[in-house]
């Protein structure tokens, strides 16, 4: 695994990123991340990915878009600022015999020359970068003119938007930082990318499928960094209240009936074709 030495960001964002890195390294996101693989496959199709293209997966996590691109015979570079997540992606790639280059990198300070890639992808990744403008600028910078940027981001009006509101009511997010759900808002995407090319957007649904609401809460409490850290920050009484609030949210969103849990989660699929 190659380690990147970054330029030091502003003190405010540096502190936020340090906390984010600790959050995403906690639990074991790969347990949940692998269930989202279909989103990476759909995004690879949305950008019309071709064999031989140079692809960067930014804030790749455990590599859903990475694997989708490699399965289509692209030349893939998988990046994240949490080395533990890249190690999970590398293990998955090795298990499938896929050739992927993994590099620790900050989405807001990518260590690549201008126009180094034909395609940039990110599934539920760059949306969590604290500086949206800088992150969008980096995506545009490293992709060639005529290339594509493909993004999948949870919407503020969908289940994940509701989830983060519930968690935030118990453990408030950092002051002064915009919600990551802004990446799931069409107007915000237009503001970030319209000066750089043509934007195609559509709202899609990913279904969380679990045994029950209790099963979902236990899995996310154990393995999903934000909820794992939220529970850890609360005393026993607070943990019970958060558990009850999440259970109520899940049961209201469940369309699977009493015998299982199926929760539709809306996300915004974006393809930007650079001028």
Q: CATH number of the domain that 113 lies in? A: 3.40.50.150
What would the two tokens of residue 206 be? 């990913």
* Contact call for residues 86 and 104 (beta carbons, < 8 A): yes
Looking at residue 71, its pLDDT comes to 98
Residue where the block lists tokens 């989830």? 163
Question: Taking the alpha carbons of 139, 142, 145, 151 in that order, is the dihedral positive or negative?
Answer: negative
Please state whether beta strands 54-57 and 75-80 pair in parallel, antiparallel, or not at all (unpaired): parallel
Q: Is residue 118 part of a domain?
A: yes
Give the residue numbers spanning the domain of 181.
11-205+266-274
Task: Work out the widest C-alpha separation in the chain, in whole angstroms.
Answer: 54
Looking at residue 19, its pLDDT comes to 79
Count of domains forming the chain = 1
pTM score: 0.92
Quote the CA–CA distance of 93 and 96 in Å, as a whole number: 5
Looking at residue 12, its pLDDT comes to 66
Quote the CA–CA distance of 35 and 251 in Å, as a whole number: 20
Looking at residue 18, its pLDDT comes to 79
Q: Is residue 235 part of a domain?
A: no
Looking at residue 3, its pLDDT comes to 34
Looking at residue 56, its pLDDT comes to 98
Looking at residue 7, its pLDDT comes to 40
Q: Is residue 247 part of a domain?
A: no
- Given a cut of 50, the residues of the chain with pLDDT beneath it are 1-11
Partners of residue 104 on adjacent β-strands: 80
Looking at residue 177, its pLDDT comes to 84
Q: Is residue 49 part of a domain?
A: yes
DSSP secondary-structure letter at 106?
Answer: B
Q: Is residue 144 part of a domain?
A: yes
Looking at residue 5, its pLDDT comes to 34
* Contact call for residues 196 and 272 (beta carbons, < 8 A): yes
Q: Is residue 174 part of a domain?
A: yes
CB 90: neighbour CB atoms within 10 A?
20
Of all helices (H) and strands (E), which one includes residue 198?
Answer: strand 197-210
Q: Is residue 199 part of a domain?
A: yes
């Amino acid at each position: 695994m190659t380690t990147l030495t970054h330029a030091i960001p502003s003190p405010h964002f540096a502190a936020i990123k340090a906390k984010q890195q600790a959050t995403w390294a906690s639990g074991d996101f790969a347990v949940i991340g692998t269930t989202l693989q279909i989103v990476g496959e759909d995004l690879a199709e949305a950008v019309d990915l071709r064999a031989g293209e140079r692809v960067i997966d930014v804030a790749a996590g455990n590599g859903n878009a990475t694997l989708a691109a490699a399965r289509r015979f692209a030349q893939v570079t998988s990046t994240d600022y949490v080395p533990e997540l890249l190690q999970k992606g590398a293990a998955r790639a090795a298990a499938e015999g896929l050739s992927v280059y993994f590099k620790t990198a900050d989405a807001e300070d990518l260590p690549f020359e201008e126009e180094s890639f034909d395609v940039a992808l990110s599934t539920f990744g760059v949306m969590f970068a604290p500086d949206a403008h800088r992150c969008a600028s980096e995506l545009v910078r490293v992709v060639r003119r005529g290339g594509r940027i493909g993004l999948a981001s949870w919407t503020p009006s969908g289940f994940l938007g509701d989830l983060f509101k519930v968690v935030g009511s118990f453990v408030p997010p950092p002051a002064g930082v915009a919600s990551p759900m802004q990446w799931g808002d069409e107007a915000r995407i237009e503001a970030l990318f319209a000066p750089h090319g043509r934007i195609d957007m559509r709202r899609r649904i990913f279904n969380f499928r679990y045994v029950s609401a209790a099963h979902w809460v236990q899995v996310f409490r154990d393995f999903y960094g934000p909820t794992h850290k939220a529970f850890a920050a609360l005393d026993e009484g607070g943990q019970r209240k958060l558990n009850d609030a999440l259970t109520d949210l899940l049961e209201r969103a469940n369309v699977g009936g009493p015998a299982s849990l199926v929760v539709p989660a809306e996300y915004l699929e974006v393809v930007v074709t650079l001028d």
